[in-house]
């Protein structure tokens, strides 16, 4: 009888050890799954933020052709003279006084995705100057004809910097483009 009792106790201990190992494996798998979900959400948020920032750049390009008056360019912004633009990576740059609000893009995204907590994206424009020579034309997006540099009329170059924050508020993208067009 004694040998039989020792076997039942050993089976119980072995069962508990196996159960402990299975619990540890399940817990580890849950942590890994949670981490993967966080990474996928962060990647999605970053990609959506980049798409939003690109939409802001298109809004800024439209503004160049419809609203920008070169004599308004100065050191105070949001339309800056050449060399006067602030540091795009400095968070204090992105205020109402220094930048334009991309309200049209914001309104479109809120209507499309129904997001109420999205921060209004912002941008500023720096007048770079006349674009001279075909090599400079191929380095920027041109609006209009290809022969704009041949005569007295030269396209004006602009540096456009846009910033937007992601849907979660954790992602932020700052994108800079050079744009040229005849005003």
- What does the pLDDT look like over 145-169, one tens digit per residue? 444 445 556 778 899 999 999 888 7
pTM of the full structure: 0.73
User: CA 129 → CA 65, 89, 166, distances in Å?
Assistant: 15, 23, 33
**DSSP-assigned letter for residue 34:** H
Asked if 124 and 161 count as a contact pair (C-beta separation under 8 A), the reply is yes
pLDDT digits (tens, 9 = 90+) for 38-83: 999 999 989 999 999 999 999 999 998 887 788 888 898 899 999 9
pLDDT digits (tens, 9 = 90+) for 120-151: 999 999 998 887 755 544 555 444 444 444 55
Q: Three-state SS for 126?
A: strand
Asked if 128 and 158 count as a contact pair (C-beta separation under 8 A), the reply is yes
Give the helix/strand (H/E) hosting 24: helix 2-66
Q: Which residues pair with 141 in a beta bridge?
A: 179
- Phi and psi at 138, nearest 5°, equal -75, -15
Give the helix/strand (H/E) hosting 103: helix 103-113
Q: Which residues pair with 143 in a beta bridge?
A: 181
Asked if 121 and 79 count as a contact pair (C-beta separation under 8 A), the reply is no
Closest CA to 130 of 151, 114, 101: 151
Asked if 61 and 163 count as a contact pair (C-beta separation under 8 A), the reply is no
């Amino acid at each position: 009888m004694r040998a039989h009792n020792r076997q039942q106790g050993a089976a119980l201990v072995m069962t508990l050890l196996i159960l402990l190992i299975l619990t540890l494996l399940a817990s580890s798998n849950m942590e890994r799954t949670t981490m993967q979900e966080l990474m996928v959400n962060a990647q999605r948020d970053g990609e959506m933020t980049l798409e939003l920032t690109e939409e802001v750049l298109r809004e800024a390009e439209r503004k160049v052709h419809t609203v920008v008056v070169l004599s308004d360019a100065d050191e105070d912004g949001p339309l800056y003279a050449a060399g006067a633009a602030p540091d795009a990576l400095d968070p204090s740059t992105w205020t109402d006084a220094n930048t334009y609000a991309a309200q049209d893009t914001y309104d479109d995204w809120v209507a499309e995705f129904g997001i109420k907590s999205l921060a209004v994206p912002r941008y500023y424009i720096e007048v770079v100057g006349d674009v001279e020579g075909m090599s400079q034309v191929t380095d920027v997006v041109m609006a209009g004809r290809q022969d704009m540099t041949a005569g007295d009329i030269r396209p004006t170059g602009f540096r456009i910097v846009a910033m937007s924050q992601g849907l979660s508020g954790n992602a932020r993208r700052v994108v800079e483009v050079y744009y040229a067009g005849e005003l």
